[in-house]
């Protein structure tokens, strides 16, 4: 699985926190509160953003296991959770062909993960979650939509190329990309889950330049790598986007999913 830096995760965490659907977050917390000796297992935890989002909504103590392949991120998550009882970290590569460590989970969580994974991984995860009769809260799955208040003629072509790149291998095999949220909801429904879904878009403006700049650069780099647009056109689009940040707003679509038996 492709890694992410602490700096990038820190940049996006406030936008993620604002974007999360409050009703689904509250419903996820209620599922944890209703269980005795509740255990939350967070997949692809990074530095623990899901813990920081969900923990304040809990009314009863719960144990957490934060799972990630990157030991540096786990050590940072552990440092940030210092003083919070019941938080453990586990180094585990989710892309490895091993049984997923989900035993005894009351709630399995993941943020900004499922658009990176393959259909085969998604099916394996849903089967494991269902076998353990765990609930699942998957937040901030990219849905393939990005709209700019200040438009450019290449916006549509750039987005289409970016979305094709999102389907390339991110460590799990060809990724679901923008189809992930729907595929997850359908797989969970087939497994007998009651599924709720809600939009959780980023809404960024001029005050979010620190995040908007790497978003623009990341899209341009991905489109260049995808190769369907010539490099000069992508460079021109990037320059326009960077030069108009002070007057632009962008909405990046995501979907939150909560599933329970």
Q: Would 227 be classed as within a structural domain?
A: no
Give domain status of residue 160, yes or no.
no
CATH number at residue 133: 3.40.50.150
CA distance 114 to 211: 21
Residue 224 lies in a domain: no
Number of domains in the chain: 1
Whether residue 60 lies inside any domain: the answer is yes
Torsion-angle region of residue 140: left (phi > 0), alpha (psi -120 to 50) or beta?
left
> Which of 183, 180, 146 minimizes the C-alpha distance to 161?
146
Which segments of the chain does DSSP mark as H helices, in order? 6-19, 22-33, 49-54, 71-80, 119-131, 155-166, 180-190, 209-226, 231-243
Q: Are 46 and 68 in contact (CB under 8 A)?
A: yes
Return d(Cα 166, Cα 118) in angstroms, integer. Answer: 11
Helix%, strand%, coil% for the chain, nearest 5: 50, 20, 30
Residue 196 lies in a domain: yes
Q: pLDDT by residue for the chain (261 residues), tens digit each? A: 446 899 999 999 999 999 999 999 999 999 999 999 999 999 999 999 999 999 999 999 999 999 999 999 999 999 999 989 899 999 999 999 899 999 999 999 999 999 999 999 999 999 999 999 999 999 999 999 999 999 999 999 999 999 999 999 999 999 999 999 999 999 999 999 999 999 999 999 999 999 999 999 999 999 999 999 999 999 999 999 999 999 999 999 999 999 999
246 within a domain of the structure (yes/no): no
Residue 134 lies in a domain: yes
Report yes or no on 231 lying in a domain: no
pLDDT at 83: 85
CA distances from 245 to 52, 142, 162 (A): 29, 22, 19
Residue 30, domain extent:
6-146+171-204+251-260
């Amino acid at each position: 699985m492709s890694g992410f830096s602490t700096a990038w995760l820190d940049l996006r965490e406030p936008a993620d926190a604002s974007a999360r659907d409050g009703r689904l977050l509250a419903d996820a917390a209620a599922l944890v509160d209703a269980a005795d000796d509740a255990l939350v297992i967070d997949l692809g935890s990074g530095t623990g953003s899901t813990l920081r989002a969900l923990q304040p909504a809990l009314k009863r103590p719960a144990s957490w296991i934060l799972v990630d392949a990157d030991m540096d991120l786990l050590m940072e998550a552990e440092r940030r959770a210092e003083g919070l009882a019941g938080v453990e970290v586990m180094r585990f590569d989710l892309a490895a062909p091993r049984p997923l460590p989900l035993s005894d989970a009351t709630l399995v969580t993941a943020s900004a993960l499922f658009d990176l994974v393959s259909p085969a991984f998604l099916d394996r995860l849903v089967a494991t979650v269902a076998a353990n009769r765990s609930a699942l809260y998957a937040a901030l799955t990219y849905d393939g939509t990005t709209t700019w208040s200040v438009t450019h003629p290449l916006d549509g072509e750039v987005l289409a190329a970016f979305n094709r790149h999102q389907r390339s291998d991110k460590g799990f095999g060809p990724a679901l990309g923008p189809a992930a949220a729907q595929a997850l909801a359908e797989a969970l429904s087939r497994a007998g889950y009651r599924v709720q879904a809600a939009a959780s878009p980023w809404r960024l403006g001029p005050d979010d330049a620190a995040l908007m700049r790497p978003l623009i650069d990341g899209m341009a780099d991905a489109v260049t790598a995808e190769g369907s647009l010539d490099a000069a056109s992508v460079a021109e689009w990037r320059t326009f986007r960077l030069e108009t940040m002070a007057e632009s707003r962008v909405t990046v679509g995501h979907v939150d999913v909560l599933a329970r038996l």
